[in-house]
Amino acid sequence: MKQKIILSVLCTVLFLTLLSTLTIGPVHIPIKTVAKILLSKIYNIQATWPENFQSIILFVRFPRILLGILVGCALSVSGCAMQGMFRNPMADSYVCGIASGGAFGASLVIISGMGRGLIMPVAFGFSLLAIFIVYYLAKTGRKVPVETLLLSGIAISLFFSALTSFIHYISEEWQWREMIFWIMGGLWKSDWNRVASSSPIIILGTLGLMFFSRELNILLIGEEQAQDLGVEVEKTRKIILVLSALVASSAVAVSGIIGFVGLIIPHTMRLIIGPDHRFLLPASCLAGGIFLVWVDTISRTLISPSELPVGIITALFGVPFFLFLLRRRKKIIGF
């Protein structure tokens, strides 16, 4: 009951976030006008607003905010699933090499002078490559010990980071500027194309993960007991890992490395809504979207007309808040 109330509150907040952040930017557009512009796409409404308002809303802010929701949701849902499945509070998709793999792939495309269009697919491919290398390195026999997985994740991350640094070192300045996007992460390159290319995998993957809520709950109790209760532990973990990797890699491919979201949001939601993944996954998804959109709004308005990389803001705002929660209610997280 309590959980359902929290979920409906989060849904409402997400909707309000979408509406209100559409009004915010170098040009303030009143909320009524925003609503009219959006509805004019569906209904026939007489245009009483300046032409440029329409393009700001429809081609600049709206795709950017949608992408923010998608990426925030993807990062926190995959982080949440990985923490649950590995019973480890430090686990998230970045720790397993997805971020550094993606950044390396993107840098490789940029320096080799291949077409821009290849950046996203190649980044996506390298993210997946990284996590599968990590998985097979950690695999011993039929089992994948969690500690080994996290350690090999860190090792592979460092390896890809070194390769990326090398590419940066030998790159031209203009190439280097482009690569920085991937390292710092951000939504300033948002357009409808990115929304369209990332949304299918993110939405389907997120829904897929939600169908594993029961298994995630049982895995949280412990591996042995999960087997006793009928869960095929290794197989289930593999599926959850693949789904999380797909979701997180899509996010990295369109927005670069945005840290902390996959760690902070699931833990915060665990404190608020409890450990039950039937509620925790949707809550993380909604809260991740809300969080990233607001943080992105701050990053694009704080030193307007220029902008800050969103990763800086996620860390600056997210970490103190998270630490505050952690200190106050340490034992409730449960790890």
Partner 1 sequence: MKLKVSHLNFSYDDVEALEDVSLDVESTQILGIIGPNGSGKTTLLKCINRKLRPRYGTILIDTKNISNFSRKEIARNIGVVPQVSSISFSFLVSDIVSMGRYAYLSRFGRETEKDLSAVKSSLELTGTAHLSNRFINEISGGEYQRVIIARALAQESKILLLDEPTLHLDINHQIEILELVRSLARKRNLAVIMVLHDLNLSARFADRLLLLNKGRVYKAGSVEEVLQPENIEKVFRIKVKIIRDTETNILSVLPVSVMKG
Residues 276-315 that bind partner 1 (CB under 8 A): 276
Regarding 275 and contact with partner 1 (CB under 8 A), the answer is yes
Regarding 335 and contact with partner 1 (CB under 8 A), the answer is yes
Structure tokens at 174: 């203009």
Helices H / strands E in the chain, number of each = 16, 0
Residue selected from 55, 232, 302, 323 as contacting partner 1 according to rule CB under 8 A? 232
Three-class SS string for 80-92?
HHHHHHHCCCCCC
Residue selected from 55, 193, 227, 304 as contacting partner 1 according to rule CB under 8 A? 227
**Contact residues for 181 (Cβ-Cβ < 8 A; gap 6+):** 188, 189, 256
Please say which residue, 30 or 222, places its beta carbon nearer to partner 1.
222
Regarding 274 and contact with partner 1 (CB under 8 A), the answer is yes
SS3 143: strand
Regarding 330 and contact with partner 1 (CB under 8 A), the answer is no
Regarding 239 and contact with partner 1 (CB under 8 A), the answer is no
Residue selected from 5, 31, 162, 332 as contacting partner 1 according to rule CB under 8 A? 332
SS3 325: helix
Residue selected from 15, 228, 320, 330 as contacting partner 1 according to rule CB under 8 A? 228
Q: Which amino acid is at 252?
A: V
Please say which residue, 55 or 227, places its beta carbon nearer to partner 1.
227
Q: How does DSSP assign 207-243, residue by residue? A: HHHHTTHHHHHHHHH-HHHHHHTT--HHHHHHHHHHH
Site residues for partner 1 per CB under 8 A:
211, 214, 217-218, 220-222, 224-225, 227-232, 274-276, 331-332, 334-335
